[in-house]
A = this chain, B = another copy of it.
Amino acid sequence: MTVYLTRKCEFSASHHYFNPAFSEEENRRTFGKCANLNGHGHNYTLEVTVKGEVDATTGFVVDLKELKEIMNREVVDAMDHRYLNHEVAEFKEQIPTTENIAIAIWKRLEGKLRVARLHRVRLFEMHDLWVDFYGEA
């Protein structure tokens, strides 16, 4: 039986949106208040969904403790209480939009699971705004 299991966690981080190739005015028009270079922040909520066969001896698709450790090590430890633009490698070159953070999280998690396969990364920036990434190139 194939089951999808989702685990949720949270991290609090700072960011700003700014493209050095844009003019000052273009940054302001494209990114609005997010272009403030002092940064602002969010409580990000991350949902990681894995897909796999249910193990008959344990009833588990994935070892929950292991999944939690991977999420903490690869994402929370790296991004929680950080200014994403300045302190997380992926965002030195790339703008840390919700879209790009979700893709970065996928890449950090992919290949780390021993049993189940990564199915979806869902990242909420606010309760009314979120993105889903399924690893589609």
Contacts and interface: CB of A to CB of B under 8 A. Distances in A.
Contacts of A34: 81
Interface in A1-53: 1-10, 12-15, 17, 19, 21-22, 30-34, 36, 38-43, 49
Contacts of A74: none
Interface in A80-126: 80-83, 86-87, 94-100, 102-103, 126
A86 B14 CA distance: 14
A97 B60 contact: yes
Point out which of A86, A96, A127 has the most chain B C-beta atoms below 10 A from its C-beta: A127
User: How many subunits of this chain does the assembly comprise?
Assistant: 6
A3 to B, nearest CB: 5
Nearest to A101: B59
Interface pairs A-B: 5 shortest CB-CB = A41-B41, A59-B97, A38-B83, A59-B95, A33-B81
A131 interface: yes
A8 B95 CA distance: 23
A61 interface: yes
A54 interface: yes
